[in-house]
Amino acid sequence: MPRCALPGEGRRHARRRPERRWPSFTERATLLEVSSMLSFQLFVQDDDLGALNLYSPDVRAFDEDSQHVGSLFASHAAVALAASQEREHLTEAMRTRDLIGQAKGILMERHKFTGDQAFTLLVRASQRANMKLRDLADRLVHTGELTSPPHRTT
C-alpha cells in the first residue's frame, strides 16, 4: 500500500490515470470508488509507527489546507500512539518482572536458594530449554515444574 515518502510530509494522490505501482491496492481502491487519497507517515523520532491514510471518491477532495491539517493531526496521533505503545511495553515488563519474582520465590522456598542463586538457576534452565525466561517462570509458577531438575549454584 502506498505510504508517505518523508516523515511529516503528507502525500496527495488523485487518480487521474491508472496507477501501476500498487496493482492490488489500486484494484481494491477502484472497487471502493476511491479517487483520491492523502497519506501521512506516523512517526516519533526514529520510530515509524505506520501511516494515516485518508480516502475520498472526489478527485479533488484534498488540497494544501487538507494536507496542513492532516499533518497536524498525524503528528498528534503519532505522539499518542507512541505513548500508548510505551505504556503497554512498561506494563508487560512489570508483569514479567513480577512473574520472575514469583518463580524466584518458589525456588528460594523450595531449595533454600538465595535470590541470586534462584535467578541464576532460572537463567540456566531457560537457556538449556531454549525458552524465554518469562515463559519458563510462567511454567514454574503455574505448574511447579522447571524443564530440568534444579542444581544448587554457589
**pLDDT per residue as tens digits for the range 65-88:** 999 999 999 999 999 999 999 999
Q: DSSP letter for 114, please.
A: -
Indicate the burial class of 137 (C-beta count within 10 angstroms; 0-12, 13-18, 19 or more).
buried
Classify 16 as helix, strand or coil. Answer: coil
Residue 42 has pLDDT above 60, yes or no: yes
User: What percent of the chain is modeled with pLDDT above 70?
Assistant: 84
* Mean pLDDT of the region 33-49: 89
> Would the pTM count as exceeding 0.85?
no
Q: Where are the alpha helices (DSSP H) in 55-132?
A: 64-111, 115-129
Measured torsion, CA atoms of residues 115, 118, 120, 121, in degrees rounded to the nearest 10:
180
Q: What is the pLDDT of residue 14?
A: 65
Indicate the burial class of 32 (C-beta count within 10 angstroms; 0-12, 13-18, 19 or more).
exposed
Q: What is the pLDDT of residue 151?
A: 59
**Contact (Cβ atoms closer than 8 angstroms) between residue 2 and residue 39:** yes
Characterise 49 by phi-psi region: left (phi > 0), alpha (psi -120 to 50), beta (else). alpha
Nearest C-alpha neighbor of 99 from the set 144, 146, 147, 133: 133
How does pLDDT run across 116-139, given as a tens digit for each residue? 999 999 999 999 999 999 999 999
In Å, the largest CA–CA distance within the chain is 75
Q: What is the pLDDT of residue 22?
A: 83
Helix 64-111 and helix 115-129, axial crossing angle in degrees, nearest 10: 110
Q: What is the pLDDT of residue 2?
A: 42
Which position has the higher pLDDT, 64 or 14?
64
Q: What is the pLDDT of residue 11?
A: 66
Which position has the higher pLDDT, 85 or 149?
85
Which position has the higher pLDDT, 31 or 21?
31
